[in-house]
């Protein structure tokens, strides 16, 4: 069975600082990995995904993530946080028929 | 514009009543999903359907029912058997569920409150 662990349910950064949101996964097959963002009372929006090939994946809004098979990780980063990045972020792994989500990380950006 | 619509945005229900949440997509996607979201618990899968007239239970199907009579529609009924139905419900779809690299597209959600 697939599983996802997001380390840190709440992360707080200053505007302009590095954003690092951690995700570790467990999968019995080569994984497909996703990061989604959710703004209050809205649905989820895809930030980026890893399928095969290049392990550094670039997404929307300046985010990127690196797939590290040896560490079973897919951490999300952004060099410089903006106030508009404040939201909840979900990491997910696919088992071909369904997605399994982590519990989410709430990102707060302080002025 | 292609997308997924959910209605209503907010729904209030009295205890003991059944209520149906609507989910419609015009993306021509084969697969549709229902998730429940509670604070600090991420998204939990209720039911999913990979093709018309077929659906499977997810991780927390008890107290819920679904139908898939049309490709574009996947309504969710929250029955009186669901002990704690107050939550945010999200519907999603994807083109070919066998292609695991296909992302799911999400609707805006319905917030259900039991009074």
Are the Cβ atoms of B100 and A96 closer than 8 angstroms? yes
Which residues, 6+ apart, have CB-to-CB distance to B49 below 8 Å?
Answer: B31, B32, B33, B55, B56, B66, B68, B74
3-state secondary structure of A84: helix
Q: Which of B50, B104, B109 sits opposite A41 (nearest CB)?
A: B109
Q: Going residue by residue through chain A (111 aa), what tens digit of pLDDT does each one get?
A: 789 999 999 999 999 999 999 999 998 777 889 999 999 889 999 999 998 888 899 999 999 999 999 999 999 999 999 999 999 999 999 876 788 999 999 999 999
- Across the interface, whether the CB atoms of A43 and B45 are under 8 A apart is answered no
Query: Is A41 an interface residue toward B (CB < 8 Å)?
Result: yes
B1 — pLDDT class (breaks 50, 70, 90): low
Grade residue B107 by pLDDT with cuts at 50, 70 and 90. Answer: very high
């Amino acid at each position: 069975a697939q599983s996802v662990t997001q380390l840190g349910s709440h992360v707080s950064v200053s505007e302009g600082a590095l954003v690092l949101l951690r995700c570790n996964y467990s999968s019995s097959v080569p994984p497909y990995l996703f990061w989604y963002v959710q703004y209050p009372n809205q649905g989820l929006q895809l930030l980026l995904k890893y399928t095969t090939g290049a392990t550094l994946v670039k997404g929307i809004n300046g985010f990127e993530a690196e797939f590290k098979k040896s560490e079973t990780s897919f951490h999300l980063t952004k060099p410089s946080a903006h106030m508009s990045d404040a939201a909840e972020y979900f990491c997910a792994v696919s088992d071909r028929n369904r997605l399994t989500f982590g519990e989410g990380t709430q990102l707060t950006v302080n002025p | 514009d292609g997308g997924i619509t959910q209605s209503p945005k907010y729904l209030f229900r009295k205890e003991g009543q059944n209520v149906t949440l609507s989910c419609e997509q015009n993306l021509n996607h084969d697969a549709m999903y229902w998730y429940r979201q509670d604070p600090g618990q991420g998204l939990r899968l209720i039911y999913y359907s990979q093709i018309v007239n077929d659906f499977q239970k997810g991780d927390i199907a008890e107290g819920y029912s679904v139908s898939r009579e049309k490709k574009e529609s996947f309504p969710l009924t929250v029955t009186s058997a669901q002990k704690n139905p107050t939550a945010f419900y999200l519907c999603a779809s994807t083109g070919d569920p066998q292609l695991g690299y296909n992302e799911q597209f999400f609707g805006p959600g319905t917030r259900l409150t039991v009074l």
